[in-house]
Each structure stands twice: as structure tokens, then as C-alpha cells.
Structure 1
């Protein structure tokens, strides 16, 4: 294989572009998910305020960490991460949510968001595995494991 067709981390450039495109889709969804959870954290009301206020803060901090990792992975693949809200809105299947103040409604929105993230992550896992991109495989495996546990825990709270 010609070196001109291989990126700096040893993957085919064309394959890396495909993975990076899906990672940008994930990045877009994560950004909207992050903003939604941040809003839930700020606006939650009710007798369970302290429990959910703290849990939502944990979730948006973890989401922010993942956003950074995803963008850095896109860069490692030799591509550019999206970095505008216009792009995030265009490529996200998670919709922006406003005005949620009840914990039950917030948890339902979080569960829907996690479901969307998991769907995309499984597609990326399959694609990255097929091209030998172990870095992305590892990242997606970690996210999937973490989010499946969150789905269980948030579901149990309903």
C-alpha cells in the first residue's frame, strides 16, 4: 500500500474519513445531549431536586469529557471535528429540549438521548472494527458499557 493512502496512525485515509464522518455525527449528538442535560441540571424542581441536580451535573461533566475525546479522535484520524452549533443541529438526531423542570420528564429525555447515542456508537464500533481502528473501537466500547449502565440506572429511577 502506498504511504500516500495511509494516514499518520497507519489507517487508510478513505476508511478514516468514513469513521470520522460518523464520529462527527456522534459529536453533534453529544453536544445537543450535553446542552439538554445542562438545562435539566439548571432548571429541575421538586422534592427530588438535590438527587437529580447532582446526578445531572455528573452526567453533563462526563458528556463534556466524551465530547473532547471524540473531537480528539477525529483529529487523530486526520480529519476536522465539527465545531459550530449549526453543524451540530444539522447532523444531530437528538433534538434540543427546553422548559423541562420535572425530573421524570428530564429522565425520559435523557433515556431517549442515550438511546440515540448508543445506536450511533454501535454503528461506529462495527465500522471501526471492520477497518482495524482499535483506538475508536476501544472508545466506543467504553462509551457503550458506561451508557448501558446509565440506561439501567435512570430507568430504575422511573
Structure 2
């Protein structure tokens, strides 16, 4: 029967590829219809909700009401690794966490879709602010804009350095 032939076809099509293409086309359509800034705003809302959900999952699993500084750092890296990102800590101190990333969870579907970076900004910002009280996330370099790696700074305190850095601020709800 011909159906058996189709099961053996070597097509680059599975749920992961389908969903990444869906997100790419959705973000691209939003960027074209309403503009990149407005598209980023819509994706930010989704990112905030996802950040709240992920934060609750980690706190519940770790059986804590609030993540410590070390747990925040580990959560940001771990969550991205679980979704096929390659994030790592470059440096971390009382004022900021600097992260790098060698592989975007969206894969090549993120190229020229910088609005998708609002997922990272809002997930990182929401998790950090909910546990630290404040966060400012600056996306210094992104794979979406053609860089080979991402460089993300998560400011933990509102000070002169964070004031000078362009990014989005997040506060505990």
C-alpha cells in the first residue's frame, strides 16, 4: 500500500520543526503587519506568561518560595538547555549576570526574527524579578540579528551601570 511508502520518506518534518516554522511565520507576519516593535510587544506578553509558568515549575520542584541568586543563575541556563539552547554563564556577581549562547532554541528559524528574542528577555526578566525584586535584561548581541552568539546581561540592581544599558526592566508582581 502507498501509505507504507510515505512512512519511509526522509522528510525534515516533525513536531519540533513544525512548531519552530509556525513561530517563525507568526512572528514574521506580526513584524510585517504591525512592525517589529509592536510584534516584540505581543511576544513579550507571551514571554511573561511563560516566564511565570517556568518560575513556578522550578520553585515547586525545588520546594522553595523564592530562588536564591545561585538558583536563578542555574535556572536561566537549565531552562534554555532543556529546550535545546546552549546558554552559559560568562560572569555573575551581585549586580548582574552575563550569559552567552551558542545555539538558539528556535534554531535557524530565529534569523531575521528579532522579535522572538523577547521570549528570552521576558522569561529571564520575569524569573529574575520575581525572585530578586528587580531585573533589567539587555540583549547586547543576538543570533537573530546575525551574530554568531548571543550576549545577554541580566542586571540585578537598578544603578548607574544598569541605567546606561539599553534593555527592558522587570519588577516583582
**TM-score where L is the length of structure 1:** 0.31
Q: Which of 1 and 2 has higher RCO (CA within 8 Å, sep 6+)?
A: 1
Give the helix-richer structure, 1 or 2. 1
